[in-house]
Amino acid sequence: MVANEKLPHPDREDIELTSVLFALSDEARLALVQQLKEGPMDMANCSALDPSAPKSTRSHQVKVLREAGVIISELHGRNRRLTLRRDDIDARFPGLLESVLQAESALQE
């Protein structure tokens, strides 16, 4: 795939609960979603993605979230801009994302 090609993202109505739950079940992916709730950011600046991990691992984590419909990954200069699809997730599964993020925050305390 050419780096500047647009990556596929599911339409809102195609986002499936099982895919979202699977994407959020991984600690690293959930940490990334926690960070993205504050707003979009470049993939290179996401502290939730372990910089010591291989690039392929970081890319895989983002791919799982993107294919599940949890985030949007768009080309932004030479980087990828990651955005949480909060409105789409809330429209499909009201309260789910907030519940998961609150539960994760409570476990971290």
Q: What share of the chain is helix, strand, coil (3-state, %, to 5)?
A: 55, 15, 35
Tell me the C-alpha distance between 74 and 25, whole Å.
23
User: Residue 97 pLDDT more than 80?
Assistant: yes
Please report the pLDDT score of residue 15 as a whole number: 97
Joined together, the tokens standing for residue 53 give 């991990």
HEC profile of 12-37 = HHHCCHHHHHHHHCCHHHHHHHHHHC
Q: Going from the N-terminus, what domains does the chain have, and what CATH number goes with each?
A: 17-108 (1.10.10.10)
pLDDT tens digits, one per residue of 6-65: 889 999 999 999 999 999 999 999 999 999 999 999 988 777 777 777 888 888 999 999
Query: Residue 93 — very low, low, confident or very high, per pLDDT cuts 50/70/90?
Result: very high
Closest CA to 84 of 5, 2, 15: 15
- Using CB atoms within 10 Å of the CB of residue 7, give its burial: 0 to 12 exposed, 13 to 18 middle, 19+ buried: middle
